[in-house]
Amino acid sequence: MNIKIILISAALIGSQFVFAKEHHAAPPASQELNFMTSLTGSWEGLNKMGSDKAELTRVTYKPTSGGTAVIETLAPDTSHEMTTMYHQSGNSMALTHYCSMGNQPYMKLKQATANSLSFEIVDEMGLQSKNEMHMHALKLTLKDSNTLVQEWTNYVNGKATPTTTLNFKRQQTK
């Protein structure tokens, strides 16, 4: 009787190890995720980010999680560093923008072309209220393989402010 219990227990425990090692392949990447992955690397440009003076601004893109998501780091190693996570959401793309303003707006893909992706906030997810200052929309445009434009739409008291346009050139790896 004790031998049966030991053998059954060993079989059950052993099967757990077999299934734990099973690897599930990521689903095929969408055109939009491929667009984001094509941005992999470092970019920089002279931009006005919250001031009247243009300053050198950097942005990096890195695939993560087995290629199922892309991390954007805007203004890395500065006091206003921000991270945006791009990922598949069902049959579409979505992003969460971890803003230096202290909120995390969640946006879904609104429109896609061969060289641009436009995102817009969903139901003020990641905000305390719709009147809170926040990034409300983002358009990414790849002008050519080495020129990226980001157009950020900020909302204050529930209304859009003028779009902030950031221009970047791809940096060659050394």
- Residue 127 included in any domain: yes
Q: What is the mean pLDDT of residues 158-168?
A: 94
Q: How confident is the model at residue 21 (pLDDT cuts 50, 70, 90)?
A: low
Residue 21 lies in a domain: no
CATH number (domain holding residue 30): 2.40.128.20
Residue 2 forms part of a structural domain: no
In this prediction, residue 161 carries a pLDDT of 93
Is 71 a domain residue?
yes
Is residue 10, in this structure, part of any structural domain at all?
Answer: no
The pLDDT score that the predictor gives to residue 77 is 94
Kindly report the length of the chain: 174
| 94 found inside a domain | yes
What's the pLDDT at 142? 98
Phi, psi of 11 (to 5 degrees): -65, -45
Residue 2 vs residue 95, higher pLDDT:
95
- Looking at residue 120, what is its pLDDT? 97
Decide: 86 and 64 in contact? Cβ < 8 Å.
no
Nearest Cα residue to 145 out of 172, 163, 166: 172
Structural domains counted in the chain: 1
The boundaries of the domain holding residue 86 are 26-170
Higher pLDDT, 21 or 26: 26
pLDDT tens track for 28-69: 778 999 999 999 999 999 998 777 889 999 999 999 999 999
As a whole number, mean pLDDT of residues 156-160 equals 93
Percent of the residues in the chain that have a pLDDT greater than 70, as a whole number: 83
* Predicted local confidence at residue 52, as pLDDT: 80
Confirm whether 161 is domain-assigned: yes
d(CA 28, CA 135): 30
Contact predicate 26/149, CB 8 Å: no
The β-bridge relationship of strands 164-170 and 159-160 is unpaired
Residue 4 lies in a domain: no
